[in-house]
Structure 1
């Protein structure tokens, strides 16, 4: 029992050291880099997945493609993608962001597809009866009705990417994974534990903020309907 206790004590000492947080390359600086990488990966994934998912849901086509992409992403772990990119000569933050974006696309694609596809048929028919074009129906009727599912997909995706970005440290990237990688390399396992705790707390904090944002982004009538 002494070894685990020693690791916990070492982690607590590390976390309570002000220099750990404020020095160059400390927790605060690495957290900023971590969040920047997350934002880029989610933005890239959203730019691809949301328009494609919305179009597929509107047209009623591509259900097989959505299922295939989802299964393919689960079969290809993010670490495997990062290592493949590194083998191709792409290291650091770029490799991690690309891999995280690839990992994020299926969740956003499926949620957008299901949200648009499941839009109220009566609202869709009423829009057609008013002479609205397919594009206007998608933008002004179906997507607003899909807001809840799209927001849920974004929330899940962001938290997953935040938890995945630490893998960047394995190929020379930045972010909070550097703390874990450095601790492993120097056999300071208390630092490894502390780095894991920081990442976990960051994920929980972001999920809490996004839960509030998801509720605010959901139109009031849909909130009432959900209850």
Structure 2
């Protein structure tokens, strides 16, 4: 029988993103879960690759009666992080551009997002905040495009809050089955909801 210590780690554990994912999850088993949730939600809104939903789900499953409180903290951290991303794009873009374009975002995706602001403004922020679309691309691009910061903040609160409180609601209602349901259906639900919102806005514009 092989000594477990001599068995090589599975390939997934050598994947940098998998290691970061496991590190994020590890905070759920410490007394610092909530501060870590706020910090991860903050940095994910501008540069960090792992969404805070991972830790939010783990914390909420461990204490379902506090799920909405965790969602509130997650929303706060994410919106503040979004404002930091906006500040990077608005005031520090010339300094940060070499470190962001290429290592974090491709130039093509960043220019595409910036162009979307010319068409949809704050609606683009809401869609990115609520759906699996990388929110961080939109926060920095919003600053570069210099869209209205009040509208940006409100769209971020609605989008991020809607997403995280939806996670909390599923956990409160579904109990132990919540993680399975979120893993299987959550992205589909948020994408469909985002598309319905866009459709509603388009119909409103046509019927005015």
TM-score (norm: length of structure 1): 0.31
Answer with 1 or 2: which has the greater Rg: 1
**Larger RCO: Structure 1 or Structure 2 (Cα < 8 Å, ≥ 6 residues apart)?**
1
TM-score (norm: length of structure 2): 0.33
